[in-house]
């Protein structure tokens, strides 16, 4: 499975380098951290809440010293932060417990894109569309993109009822609540 991901990365890097006329070495150094963050996320599949909603040792690990609450953004930030530590480099964007905030931070550090590729952050609107729900969001990491570019799978934490676990979920690029993708 990881070879498939690695091949997708290689193909995506070549395409990005051609489209943006980047040096291939520059593209690899930019995205290798995303590949490592994705690999770390894969290692967390099946882990998540225990005891109570939004709690347990894995959730606490993802949050670090951050307050209790929804943990999808904490999970994504933890994967990226662990990848940066392993590479002995500075975290490329500021972590946040807020899904929309971490998505915006990642996009500002990199770029917002319309077409996902593995390792991108993906963000959705949550709530029922009322103004008081405007802050609510959900975030994950793109795991793979189908050849048609219209469907993708993502690794997400805090999906569904207790006990929510880190899992792989299928989505369509045109989903109504999809906000977009951020590539670092």
Angle between helix axes 24-43 and 72-87 (nearest 10 degrees) is: 130
Confidence of residue 27 (pLDDT cuts 50, 70, 90): very low
Write down the pLDDT at residue 78. 97
Write down the pLDDT at residue 128. 75
Quick one: which of 156, 128, 122, 124 has its CA closest to 137? 124
Structure tokens at 3: 């070879």
What CATH number was assigned to the domain covering residues 2-183? Answer: 3.90.1720.10
Write down the pLDDT at residue 66. 63
**Residues 142-173: tens digit of each pLDDT:** 999 999 999 999 999 999 999 999 999 999 99
Write down the pLDDT at residue 1. 53
Mean pLDDT of the chain: 85
Write down the pLDDT at residue 30. 44
Percent of the chain with pLDDT over 70: 80
pLDDT for residue 4 is more than 90: no
Write down the pLDDT at residue 69. 73
Distance CA 94, CA 128 (A): 28
Confidence of residue 134 (pLDDT cuts 50, 70, 90): confident
Give the pairing of strands 111-113 and 167-172: unpaired
In the chain, where are the structural domains located?
Answer: 2-183
pTM of full prediction above 0.85: no
pLDDT for residue 14 is more than 80: no
Confidence of residue 180 (pLDDT cuts 50, 70, 90): very high
Write down the pLDDT at residue 29. 44
Question: Exposed, middle or buried by CB within 10 Å (0-12, 13-18, 19+), for 161?
Answer: exposed
Write down the pLDDT at residue 70. 85
For residue 45, give the 3-state DSSP assignment: coil
Write down the pLDDT at residue 65. 67
Write down the pLDDT at residue 68. 67
């Amino acid at each position: 499975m990881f070879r498939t991901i690695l091949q997708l990365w290689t193909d995506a890097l070549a395409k990005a380098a051609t489209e943006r006329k980047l040096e291939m070495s520059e593209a690899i150094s930019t995205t290798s951290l995303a590949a490592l963050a994705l690999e770390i996320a894969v290692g967390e599949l099946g882990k998540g809440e225990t005891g109570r909603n939004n709690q347990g040792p894995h959730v606490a690990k993802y949050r670090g010293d951050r307050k209790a609450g929804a943990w999808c953004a904490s999970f994504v930030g933890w994967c990226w932060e662990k990848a940066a530590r392993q590479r002995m480099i500075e975290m490329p964007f500021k972590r946040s417990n807020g899904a929309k905030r971490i998505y915006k931070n990642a996009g500002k550090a990199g770029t917002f894109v319309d077409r996902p590729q593995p390792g991108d952050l993906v963000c959705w609107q949550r709530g029922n569309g009322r103004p008081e729900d405007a802050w609510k969001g959900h975030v994950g990491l793109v795991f793979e993109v189908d050849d048609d570019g219209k469907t993708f799978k993502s690794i997400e934490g805090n999906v569904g009822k207790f006990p929510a676990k880190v899992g792989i979920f299928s989505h369509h690029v045109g989903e109504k609540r999809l906000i977009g993708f951020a590539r670092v």
